Each structure stands twice: as C-alpha cells, then as structure tokens.
Amino acid sequence: MPDLTKLAAPLDVGGVQIRNRVFLAPMSGITDEPFRQRAHAHGAGLVVSEMVASGELAKGRAGCDLRIRHSGLPVHMVQLAGREAAHMAEGARIAAGEGADIIDINMGCPAKKVTGGYAGSALMLDLDHALSLIDAVVGAVEVPVTVKMRLGWDEAALNAPMLAGRAEQAGVRMVTVHGRTRCQFYQGKADWRAIARVKDAVSIPVVANGDVSSPAEAADILDQSGADAVMIGRAHYGAPWIAGGIAAAATGEAAPNIPQDPTALADYVVAHYDDMLALYGVESGLRQARKHLGWYLDRHVGGVADDSRKAILTAFEPARVIALLRDVFSRDPQPLNLRSAA
C-alpha cells in the first residue's frame, strides 16, 4: 500500500490545529451533531456541520440553531451556503458567536434546489460574485474561512484553480476540491489528478474529496492530487467510523470505538437513534433517523426481510423500532461490513 503516514500528521488551518488529515465532509441532512460526535470519537481529524443556508440563519429560521450549535468537540466548523453577501456575513457572525472555530463557504453543492438559487456550485459560474461572498465572510469574522468547491460547472469551465487562487488572495485559509464538475453530480469517477492543478495554484492547504472509502484510496488520491488532506463523504453512510479508520491506518493502529460484533453494533445503532430523537424530538427525529437506519441495515445486515425493513423504517413508536433493530441484528448471520476500519 502507498505511504499513508502524511495523513496522521496534524494540520494548521489559520491557526486552528487539526489533529490529523482525514476529514468528514459536510453532508446536508446527515452530518448533524450526533453523527459528527460519532465520527470524531472514531478518530476523524475534522468534522463539518451540514450545510446551513445563510439567509435562513440570518432571519432566525427554526432549525438553523441546531445546525450551528457547538457540540463540545475541540474544533467546531460550520459550513454556510448562500448568494447574498449581507446574509453570508451575518450568518458567519452568528456562527462565530455560537463558537465556530472555522467557517466554510459552500461553492460545491450540485443540488438543483441550491444551484437554482445561484448558490453552491452555481457560484463557480461567476467568480466575481463568488469573491464578493468570500470578501464578506472574511471581513465579518476573525476565525479562519475556508471554501469547498468542485472542479468547475462543467468540462468547458474547469476554473477551480482560478477560484482557489483568488480565494487565497482574499484571505481564505484552506480549500477543499471535489474531483467532479457540477454537471457530473456524483456520476462517473472523481478526477483526482485534476485536483493537482488547484494544489499548484495556491500555497494554502488543499483537501481532496471524492470517491474515497478505504486507506488505499486515500493514499491514491493524495498521490495523484498532491493534496494536504483528504475529505470523505458518502462512504460514511451506515459507517460513521470510515474517516477514523483511515486515520488509524496511517499510524498502523486500530480506530477507536468501532463495534466489533452484531450485538455491539445493535447497541451502537440504538444509541445513535436515541441521540437523534433527543436532538430533534420524537416526531421529527423518527423521520430524520430513517435514512441512517436504512444505511445501517443495508451495510451490515445480510438479507433482512422486506417486511422487517419496512417495519423498522415506518414504525412511529421508538420502543418498537428499537426492539425490531435488536431482533434483526441478533438474527444476522453475516460478518459486519467494517470496510476501512482495519
């Protein structure tokens, strides 16, 4: 396997010390407080809040407070999205006031509901406007500001190196690049070599993102991109320990706190479920947790019956959901799918 030792080293981001170089990506509706706490406990170097709409945050919309709330972790990083400089600045001030140590600007989300509002990766279509948002956020807070982007809008506009260079000049302290264009969404294979052009354009740390789920892939993306760190997103579905497992592999150690048998995994899933109900309340928590329960079942339970799966994902009584989960895991004859944990 290629050398992974670089990933075990700490990283300085504008004076904020990050314990290692394997990060949990911000994922809307996924990387909430319970998920981030688990990823950190497993050894992820940095965890990022799910995307927060700056306009809604600035207007005090319900639910935004939960997304920016400090979870007690050593580094609290909040990602903001938006297209209005005033809202981005005010959102950054609010997040910093809630204890954010780093503010990340989303210029990479490909979702139509985001790009349709000229936010996320749509900002890469107008770099002058993108820089106006960066200037607003950098000018609003004392904490480091970072940017997450894609390679460009499409193959005809691969302008990530230009955006990264201008962002650095504006005071951004780190950039993360997903190795796809917006028009690719998540199709095809991420172009890890293209990220190297961003690395060549800046002197600040560059984080490579896209299609990493194992130590070998983490080593390959670093080798091909020359990046300083790696960020991992969708591989965490049903496995909050993936980043920690890769960070541990860089030192030859085992990642901490990973459940090692079906009974331990059942306890883990139930605890995650309980934490989500406590955060959101039972009514909302039941809905929010279903995708996580589905991923745990898909990843770790071999051949769960359709009726059992449906009952777990549709029941409205938490006690029934928990009983069904424990029953399914106790009957699962398959070994756990703990990819990248070793």
Residues catalogued as catalytic: 109
Tally the C-alpha atoms within 13 A of residue 37's C-alpha that lie toward its C-beta. Answer: 13
Q: How far apart are CA 29 and CA 289, in angstroms?
A: 10
Residue 60: CB partners within 8 Å, gap ≥ 6? none
First CA to last CA distance, the chain: 13
Phi, psi of 4 (to 5 degrees): -110, -5
User: What is the tally of helices (H) and strands (E) in the chain?
Assistant: 14, 11
Minimal CA–CA distance to 232: which of 224, 170, 223, 241?
241
CB 90 within 8 A of CB 69: no
**Encoding tokens for residue 120?**
């996320």
- The DSSP result for 93-160, as a single string, is HHHHHTT-SEEEEEE----HHHHTTT-GGGGGG-HHHHHHHHHHHHHH-SS-EEEEEES-SSTT---H
Q: How far apart are CA 324 and CA 44, in angstroms?
A: 30
